[in-house]
Amino acid sequence: MNLCNPRVIRELMAEAGIRFRRDLGQNFLIDPTVPEEIAEIASPDPESVMLEIGPGIGCLTSELAERYRRVVAVEIDRGLIPVLEKTLAECDNVTVVYDDCMTCDLAKLLSDAGGGVPGVDFPVSVAANLPYYITTPILLRLLESGIRFSHVTVMVQKEVADRLAALPGSKDYGAITAVLGYYGTVERCFTVSPGSFLPPPAVSSAVVRIDLYPEPAFSPLSEKLFFDTVHAAFEQRRKTLVNALSARFSDVPKEKLAEIVVSCGFPPDVRGERLGTGDFVKLSDAIFRARNGV
């Protein structure tokens, strides 16, 4: 069954009595090379357990099932149950869970599927065609879950992909870029045109892969303060870093914050988009010491 054939997609949905749901950002792939390429780059280890967010009708799911030990797919739309039961009937290494990936116990789902601790007893990676409206929350949910993912490969809106993979100092660089840099490195892999989907979205898409650090690359004195510092720097992009930090950290005198910025090796009028992830760790540590008198 060609799950990227528009006629097949429409027939499957008609049989199930369902329609495309705009509120869930449902755009199904009709270019078979895209799920093939995503599956190919999702992990170098065929023994991986793959977590898929939003399998849709299963075109990427089936490609992942061919290449990896096990696939756990989390689908929020229960209307797709009869469709996925049909399209994945021959994939005996796939488990579909009908739940919300933002609230369900991902570690338990993966543990049940892999028979151990995900990321420790067996390698685990993520592959997904993410709904545009909730891309960043899902990525942060995955990264903050505590699960030791090896790779996270996602298709997102092209403009979002540009931000995820941006370099410090570029116009696309922002808080999410610096935060991702805390967890791993980001590679922008390839672009996907609107015509590759049914129905076609209004914008182009792109696939990015995040290679997670096997061990933490940074050890801030306070992880919470690190994230607070990053977000403070980008809350008001037009302000200098000193002014942006002063707006967030009112307990530290502005003059002291100015001293901290300069002592960390940055110009007094620097803006947040000039700092890389390591720079933010250095800066947050300095703020921590100033706050705690150490």
For the stretch 274-285, pLDDT in tens is 999 999 999 999
Residues 133-165 have pLDDT tens digits of 899 999 999 999 999 999 999 999 999 999 999
Nearest to 54 by CA among 77, 22, 34: 77
Please say which residue of 212, 243, 261 terminates a domain.
Answer: 212
Q: Which domain range does residue 158 map to?
A: 6-212
Chain centroid to Cα 5, Å, comes to 28
Lowest mean pLDDT among 86-95, 145-154, 285-294: 285-294
User: Among the three residues 212, 231, 263, which one is the final residue of a domain in this structure?
Assistant: 212
Query: At residue 2, does pLDDT exceed 90?
Result: yes
- pLDDT at position 238, please? 85
Whether residue 7 has pLDDT greater than 80: yes
Q: Which two tokens stand for residue 222?
A: 């306070």
75 shares its domain with 25:
yes
pLDDT at 32: 97
Mean pLDDT of 253-279: 96
Quick one: pLDDT at residue 117? 95
In a domain, 82, yes or no: yes
Hey, which bits of 100-256 come out as E strands? Answer: 124-129, 151-157, 184-192, 197-198, 205-212
The tokens 């942006």 sit on which residue? 244
124 and 269 fall within a common domain? no
Count of domains for the chain: 2
Q: What is the pLDDT of residue 23?
A: 72
The answer to whether residue 217 is domain-embedded is: no
pTM value? 0.94
State both tokens at 233. 């720097």
Q: Do residues 196 and 96 share a domain?
A: yes
Q: Check whether residue 191 and residue 282 sit in a common domain.
A: no
pLDDT higher at 23 or 11: 11
**So what's the pLDDT on residue 22?**
73
- Quick one: pLDDT band at residue 21, thresholds 50, 70, 90? confident
Average pLDDT of the chain to the nearest whole number: 95
What pLDDT score does 197 carry?
94
| Bridge partner residues of 61 (DSSP) | none
Kindly tell me if the per-residue pLDDT of 24 is higher than 80. no
Find out whether 8 and 33 touch, Cβ atoms under 8 Å. Answer: no
- 52/73 same-domain check: yes
Q: For residue 175, name the pLDDT band (cuts at 50, 70, 90).
A: very high
Residues 191 and 227 in one domain: no
Burial class (CB in 10 A: 0-12, 13-18, 19+), 103: exposed
Q: Are residues 184 and 229 in the same domain?
A: no
What's 66's domain CATH number?
A: 3.40.50.150
Q: What's the pLDDT at 286?
A: 97
pLDDT 10s digits, 198-245:
989 999 999 999 999 999 999 999 999 999 999 999 998 889 999 999
Q: What is the pLDDT, as a whole number, of residue 18?
A: 85
Out of 154, 183, 212, a domain closes at: 212
Residue 292 tokens read as 């705690």
Q: Within 10 Å of residue 250's Cβ, how many Cβ atoms?
A: 9
Structural domain contains residue 125: yes
Q: Looking at the domain assignment, is residue 218 inside a domain?
A: no
Do the domain assignments include residue 1?
no
Give the contacts of 290 (CB within 8 A, at least 6 positions apart): 252, 256, 260
